[in-house]
Amino acid sequence: MPTDKPSLLPVTNQTNEKHSSRPTYHLSVKTYDVIDPDYGRAGPSTRHAKSHLKGLLSLGAVTSVALVVLASSSDTACLSSAISRLPSTSSVSSVVRWATGYDSSVHELRYQDEACRHRPQETSSEIDDWIDEERDISHRAILDNIGPRAGAIPGLVIASPSKSHPDYFYSWTRDSALTFSTIFDRFLPGPNSTAYAHGDPSLEPLIREYIHAQGNLQLLSNPSGTFLDGGLGEPKFEVDGTAFHNSWGRPQRDGPPLRAMVVSQYAEYLLDRKEPFDSTYINENIYNPKTVMAKGSILKSDLEYTAHNWHRNSFDLWEEINGLHFFTLLASRVALERGAALATRLSDPGAASFYTQEANAITDRLELFWSPDRNFISATIDAPRFGRSGLDSALILAFLHAGEQGDGVWGIAGERALSTLISYVDSFKNGLYKINDVPGDGWNGAIAVGRYSEDVYNGDGMSLANPWYLCTFGVAEMIFRIAIHFEKVDQIPITPISLHFWQNVYPSAKSGDVYQRGDGVYEHVLEKLAGWADGFLLIGKSFEGPEGSFTEQFSRLDGTPTGAKKLTWSYASFIEATNGRNEYRHISALKRD
Ligand code: NOJ
Ligand code: NOJ
């Protein structure tokens, strides 16, 4: 199977009799195996083919295109979305797709003859091309911030290459785990509905380097304690893999459960793969059922730390408030639930029941965060004591990274999540950020949002805080995930608690209404929801940095990128949000067919 760069066959120029002034182009695009070793799927080959196509279209001379694509299925999807956005003056006469299913061992050609169907949700948006390119940029930017390429030891993720104003040249446990969760999604072959149906096996060595490096960090004595006594709560480390000794908001107890979540996903994957050497790897590097906390048992050590410490105060994910936090607890709960499942698979029943017991205890405690009077979840117990309303992006991030699926009490599409989301977004209204004063509908009703409305951290010191990319993209993703749920269940019930959320996209909504697929309102509401979510991504598009880079924040006054440059977490949040968008578009297209 050829793996060279695509050959774009010469365009044959034929005279179109009917529109005598306009020639018809028959464009054949051949993109041979476009799995690019450096960039994975949708690498430069696809971009090259797409931009060639775009160039021709922008000439305005194209009235008809015949396209032959030889590519992996994800690339044909990319290209057909480009075709579906042809200017209205042109028409696609036929599209014949030859697709090779990507499978590294079998390169068998499969023939797919598919009419180019007009998919409305793929034509409407100018942001599609930007998203495709920005996803590549973000993935590369993440890889550039890991290991020796970033000036760190192998497997360590730097928060940002910025070494002064601010100095973010450290490795945070939280940022690293969330980054590897994004990388893991790309590594793991998923169902068709995900952006990565085929996975990217080339990322496995990097995942192992991460696990190895984290295992060594766990053992370091540091200002939070020793390996066996509190040290796992240390939030950040030097990039050479040594402890950080200056004063800091410590401990932060979200790190171990976030790390456990991603490492347990990898362990589950290895157990499913059923290779004998994989069990050895698990035993020696991830989870040793014969020990409690031990070197080489990184996952069990994190689970033990989490199970014993979740109820204790610690600093929040923004490193500012020492208290009990929804984000930390939700992450702890999921980590322990997954940990219990894994312990069972690894014949460690005692651990499994302990983790389950603690996860249940967390569930009981979560109720304290819900405020029926204010109709939202508070990010921290006793938030007013810290001068906070309790509305915080940490809530959105909690649902994204540790929420339940569906519309249960702590589900991402549950009424509490919906009312919390809208309350959080609303807390940035009333002129807080000048850039949100846009005429009319602005970005489909979306606004730029930051960590929490009382924030004063400007990215380098204390003055006026700004909106953050990762918070704004987080809202986009959460809305997509909510839309995915309601696409799946074919109906939207409006409850007293969720009413305000739904009125934001459908002002006539009333409590007690139930919209059903096919009744028109249901379709309208979901379309508005997806458009609203796109608005939050469009804000990122409006204020991205040079060459598609993302800092931590962008100015509340004029949107200029500010704060730590090339923030790894900003890129990861963009990828996650657009994964959500892709999944939403996939399911909504299926349901409408
Ligand atoms: C740096 C922290 O990382 C950030 O979260 C915090 O807001 C500022 N310091 C101020 O404490
Ligand atoms: C400051 C943020 O508040 C914190 O959450 C993050 O871990 C660090 N910056 C590093 O990105």
What CATH number does residue 465 fall under? 1.50.10.10
pLDDT of residue 438: 87
The answer to whether residue 323 is domain-embedded is: yes
The answer to whether residue 379 is domain-embedded is: no
The answer to whether residue 171 is domain-embedded is: yes
User: How far apart are the CA of 209 and the centre of ligand 1, in A?
Assistant: 28
Residues 6+ apart with CB under 8 A from 340: 351, 352, 353, 355, 356, 359
Statement to judge: residues 478 and 346 lie in one domain: no
Task: Give the other-Cβ count within 10 Å of 437's Cβ.
Answer: 9
Statement to judge: residues 346 and 424 lie in one domain: no
Inter-residue long-range contacts of 53-58, CB under 8 Å, 24+ positions, other chains counted: 53/27, 53/29, 53/79, 53/82, 53/83, 54/82, 54/129, 56/11, 56/25, 56/27, 57/86, 57/87, 57/90
pLDDT beneath 50: ranges in the chain: 1-49, 52, 56, 58-76, 78, 82, 85-124
Tally of domains in the chain = 2
Write the residue with the smallest CA distance to atom 11 of ligand 2: 159
pLDDT of residue 180: 98
Task: Give the other-Cβ count within 10 Å of 73's Cβ.
Answer: 18
CA atoms within 13 A on the CB side of 210: 29
pLDDT of residue 62: 39
Q: Is 316 within 8 Å of 324 (Cβ atoms)?
A: no
- Please state the atom number of ligand 2 nearest to the C-alpha of residue 168: 10
Task: Give the other-Cβ count within 10 Å of 76's Cβ.
Answer: 23
Statement to judge: residues 365 and 395 lie in one domain: no
pLDDT of residue 125: 59
CA distances in angstroms from 539 to 127, 395, 436, 445, 580, listed in the order given: 11, 21, 10, 11, 17
Inter-residue long-range contacts of 246-249, CB under 8 Å, 24+ positions, other chains counted: 248/223, 248/319, 249/315, 249/319, 249/320, 249/322
User: How far apart are the CA of 121 and the centre of ligand 1, in A?
Assistant: 40
Domain that holds residue 313: 154-371
Statement to judge: residues 459 and 546 lie in one domain: yes
The answer to whether residue 443 is domain-embedded is: yes
Ligand 2 binding pocket includes 175 (Cβ within 6 Å): yes
Statement to judge: residues 270 and 196 lie in one domain: yes
129, 133, 209, 319: the catalytic one is 319
Which residues approach ligand 1 with their CB closer than 6 A? 318-320, 457
Residue for token digits 């793991």? 188
- Please state the atom number of ligand 2 nearest to the C-alpha of residue 451: 3
The answer to whether residue 427 is domain-embedded is: yes
User: How far apart are the CA of 319 and the centre of ligand 1, in A?
Assistant: 6
Helices marked H in 89-220? 120-123, 127-144, 173-187, 204-219
Statement to judge: residues 205 and 328 lie in one domain: yes
Domain C-terminal end among 371, 406, 438 = 371
pLDDT of residue 197: 77
- Please state the atom number of ligand 2 nearest to the C-alpha of residue 159: 11
Statement to judge: residues 194 and 271 lie in one domain: yes
Alpha-carbon distance 379 to 381, whole Å? 7
pLDDT of residue 192: 72
302 carries an active-site annotation: no
The answer to whether residue 190 is domain-embedded is: yes
Q: Is 64 within 8 Å of 92 (Cβ atoms)?
A: yes
204 carries an active-site annotation: no
The answer to whether residue 142 is domain-embedded is: no
CA distances in angstroms from 33 to 6, 101, 102, 133, listed in the order given: 8, 10, 8, 19
Statement to judge: residues 544 and 423 lie in one domain: yes
Statement to judge: residues 348 and 399 lie in one domain: no
Statement to judge: residues 409 and 321 lie in one domain: no
Residues 6+ apart with CB under 8 A from 341: 268, 352
User: How far apart are the CA of 459 and the centre of ligand 1, in A?
Assistant: 8
Statement to judge: residues 365 and 271 lie in one domain: yes
Residue for token digits 């409590």? 511
pLDDT of residue 593: 77
The answer to whether residue 81 is domain-embedded is: no
